[in-house]
Amino acid sequence: MIEMLVKPKKAERHPWELFFVGLFYASVSLLLVTFVFGKDSVLREGSGLLVVTFTVISCLPFMYYIIKLEEGKDVEITDSGRLIKEHSRAIRALMWLFLGFVVAFAFWYIVLPGHAPQNFNFQIKTFCAINSPSNYNACIEQYGIIPITGKVTGVNNVVAIFANNIYVLIFTILFSLVFGAGAIFILVWNASVIAAAIGIFAKSSLANLPIGLLRYMIHGIPEISAYFVGALAGGIISVAVIRKDLRGERMWRILQDSLILIILAIVILFVSALVEVYVTPMFF
């Protein structure tokens, strides 16, 4: 029931409404894991992934129908410029949804500090692997996670960040191709990791939440928008296969549009990497 709170056509007309839908989905998922599954000694070990999984389940119907809607535009619209403009409406709606996830996860990370190491255990490990690779065990122990052994490498320059982001983009496209709306898993996962980073940055104070959001959204918004563009490209082809639209002139039109979207995503990721390395540190 809750997964159908908003319809794709309405979302494209009023994309900002998706922010509150994202808040609701993420909050319900996190509270469900905290107070239901978190009581189980076995399941709570995977709480970080369960939070992501339940949020994904809520989003799948919306994600599928919005991709289906965009694939329909590929069939109907022949002008590339107009088509990109139409797709941008879907990207804006998805970005508002993503922002809702981030704010909700970060809010509950700060409000429920005692549950944060449990609910964001995998996310904290990812944060430490990126930001403190040389002191990984000390980092995760600092935030309430039991240390593990093993070497971890970090990301510290434009080329490395760009390469890592391309790697994520490839998986996003592949997930969209194979599972249709399946790329939403990667995107919700990224939202939860960013939220954990914001919660750590805010140091358990809601007053620092806006600063934390700004800290990670400067480069995070273009980066995530690129993933959504890639997810849309792969999803359009996936839906076209299901609807048997990949034939004749329609096939070339759909493939051309998807290729343009993928190229656009790569360009945005490169710009995002530059912003993360050279712009964000100027303010934080």
Q: Of 185, 174, 230, 213, nearest to 29 (Cα)?
A: 185
**pLDDT(75) > 70:** no
Integer Cα distance of 141 and 177 in angstroms: 38
The closest alpha carbon to 231, from 272, 174, 273, belongs to 174
Rounded Cα distance between 275 and 283, Å, is 11
User: Could you give the CA distance from residue 210 to residue 283 in angstroms, rounded to a whole number?
Assistant: 14
Could you state, in order of their start, the residue ranges of all structural domains in the chain? 2-283
The 10s digit of each residue's pLDDT in 221-267 is: 899 899 988 888 887 787 777 677 666 667 777 788 888 889 999 99
**pLDDT tens digit sequence for 182-202:** 778 888 998 999 999 998 888
pLDDT of the residue at 159: 83
Higher pLDDT, 242 or 169: 169
Instruction: State how far the Cα of 20 lies from the Cα of 109, in Å rounded to an integer.
Output: 18
Q: What is the pTM of this model?
A: 0.83
pLDDT in tens, 120-157: 998 998 888 877 777 778 888 887 776 654 444 555 57
Q: What is the distance between the alpha carbons of residues 232 and 177, in angstroms, rounded to a whole number?
A: 10
Q: Is the pLDDT of residue 212 over 90?
A: no
DSSP structure string for the chain? -GGGSS-HHHHHHSTTHHHHHHHHHHHHHHHHHHHTGGGSTTGGGGHHHHHHHHHHHHHHHHHHHHHHHHHHHHHH---HHHHHHHHHHHHHHHHHHHHHHHHHHHHHHHH-TTTHHHHTHHHHHHHHHHH-GGGHHHHHHHTT-----S------SHHHHHHHHHHHHHHHHHHHHHHSSTTHHHHHHHHHHHHHHHHHHHTT-GGGHHHHHHHHHHHHHHHHHHHHHHHHHHHHHHHHHHTT--SHHHHHHHHHHHHHHHHHHHHHHHHHHHIIIIIHHHH-
